[in-house]
Structure 1
Amino acid sequence: MILYHGSNTEIEQINLSKSKPYKDFGKGFYLSDNEDQAMNMAKQKVIQTESGSETINRYEFDDTRLNDGSLKVKVFTSYDEEWAEFILANRNRNNKNKVHDYDIVIGPIADDKVGVQVRLLLEEYIDITTFKKRLQYIKGMTIQYYFGTQRAIDTLKKL
């Protein structure tokens, strides 16, 4: 399968130490199987950094690796409570340690305003059911692929 990573630059070599913490599935390298979604991310990156140009990095991934036992994989198929709690744990800045040990996590993208919703939940203004509903991506379900270990990164072939 082909996966896409939107950025403001060409990525010659993936370096996990450059990844930002407190993302949906934790600190890691994120890709999409939807090229339009990756382009939207590239546009956002250019705006955020005020540098570079919209760039789609393409990778080939042998998806049979998801089931061959060589990688620890977690797949979320819907916006459910387990997914919402997983997002909360990874986005919670009070969690200083890595929340999980998965090589790859696949699941829906949360809405862009996750930080606000995390704060509302932690301060008990909303419950987990409301949190889950508010995290659902407004444009419809789009899947993201998290590669969080070097072992996972090594399965990607740059195109």
Structure 2
Amino acid sequence: MILYHGTNIDFDIIDLLKSKPNKDFGRGFYLTESLAQAQDMAQTKTDQLECGSPTVIKYELDEQCFSDGSLSVKRFMEYSEEWAEFILANRNNPNSECVHSYDVVIGPIADDRVGVQLWKYDNQLIDLPTLVKNLKYMKGITIQYFFGTERAIKKLKRL
């Protein structure tokens, strides 16, 4: 399978320590099967940081690693309460340690308004079903791939 990573600066070596904490599935390296989504992310990151230029890096991955037992993989097939609670735990994690032990997490991208929605839920202004509904990505379901360990990163081959 082909996966894409959108960024503002090209690089050859994936360094998990440069990944930001408190993302949807935790601190890790994020990819998508959607070239358009990666391009959007590259532009967004370039705009936010006001440096570099939109860059999409292409990787190849043997999907067999998701089922052959070589990696611990968590899949969210759709938006669900379990998915929303998983994102909530990762986004609100006060520690540098990951809240889960998965090498790879696969699941829907949350909408860009994640912070506001999690705040509303934490402050009991909305319930869990409303949180799930509000976190659905506005452009339709797009799956993200989180690689959170060196063991997982080694499965990616840059093209």
TM range (shorter): over 0.9
Once residues 154 and 90 of structure 1 are traced to their aligned partners in structure 2, the CA distance between those partners, rounded to angstroms, is 23
Q: What TM-score comes out, normalization by structure 1 length?
A: 0.97
Structure 1: gaps (5+ residues): none
1:106 counterpart residue number:
106
Alpha-carbon deviation of 1:94?
3.9
Mapping 1:117-136, distance limit 5 Å: 117-136=117-136
Indicate if the aligned counterparts of 2:30 and 2:146 stay in contact, CA closer than 8 A: yes
Structure 2: gaps (5+ residues): none
1:18 counterpart residue number:
18
Identity %: 58
Alpha-carbon deviation of 1:96?
5.3
Secondary structure of the equivalent of 1:131?
helix
Q: What TM-score comes out, normalization by structure 2 length?
A: 0.97
Alpha-carbon deviation of 1:97?
3.6
Mapping 1:1-159, distance limit 5 Å: 1-94=1-94, 97-159=97-159
Change beyond 3 A, Cα 1:84–1:95: farther
Alpha-carbon deviation of 1:93?
4.3
Indicate if the aligned counterparts of 1:89 and 1:95 stay in contact, CA closer than 8 A: no
Secondary structure of the equivalent of 1:64?
helix
Once residues 98 and 27 of structure 2 are traced to their aligned partners in structure 1, the CA distance between those partners, rounded to angstroms, is 8
- State the one-letter code of the partner of 1:54: P
Indicate if the aligned counterparts of 1:103 and 1:152 stay in contact, CA closer than 8 A: yes
CA RMSD of aligned residues (A): 1.0
Alpha-carbon deviation of 1:103?
0.2
The more displaced of 27-36 and 86-95 is: 86-95
Change beyond 3 A, Cα 1:16–1:157: same
Indicate if the aligned counterparts of 1:31 and 1:144 stay in contact, CA closer than 8 A: yes
- State the one-letter code of the partner of 1:121: Y
Q: What is the number of equivalent residue pairs in this alignment?
A: 159
Once residues 117 and 93 of structure 1 are traced to their aligned partners in structure 2, the CA distance between those partners, rounded to angstroms, is 16
